[in-house]
Amino acid sequence: MTNPDAMTEMAAGYTAAWNSRSAEAVASFYAEDGEIIINNGEPWTGRARVQDMAAGFCADVPDLTLTCDDLRCSGSHVIFVWTFTGHDAATGNPLTVRGWEEWEIDDDLKVKSSRGWFDADDYARQAAGG
């Protein structure tokens, strides 16, 4: 069973890693063979691929600021609810995107698997200036 205090600390570190804009720091919260799937897309499997995913978000939103809005824990399952703000790199338009990740955590408090969700249509609309 995951300790809620330890998960709160881990989530704060994960948030700080995103805010550092270091894809390597973000990936360090994942198990070596961990993976993330965003909006039922293709999996990013392995820490190096998770790093690629994070680098892509940081390139698309170079001033990305992430907040942790809520955290729920049950055993090794964690829900990390977030909001990010910033500006789209291509258009300069402001973004406010809300979503969440559903994590399975290993004994070392590393993410084994993450299922991430956000409204991609709303994100595209904001990026386009709508």
Q: Which of 116, 123, 118 is nearest to 37 (CA)?
A: 116
Distance, CA of 47 to CA of 10 (rounded, Å):
17
**Where do the H-state alpha helices sit in the chain?**
4-19, 23-27, 47-60, 120-128
What total number of domains does the chain contain? Answer: 1
Q: What is the mean pLDDT of residues 108-117?
A: 97
| CATH number for the domain harbouring residue 95 | 3.10.450.50
Count the alpha carbons within 13 Å of 98 in the hemisphere toward its beta carbon: 3
The per-residue pLDDT for range 60-73, each reduced to its tens digit, is 999 999 999 999 99
Q: What is the mean pLDDT of residues 26-40?
A: 98
Phi and psi at 20, nearest 5°, equal -80, -15
Enclosing domain of residue 106: 4-128
Is residue 87 predicted with pLDDT exceeding 70?
yes
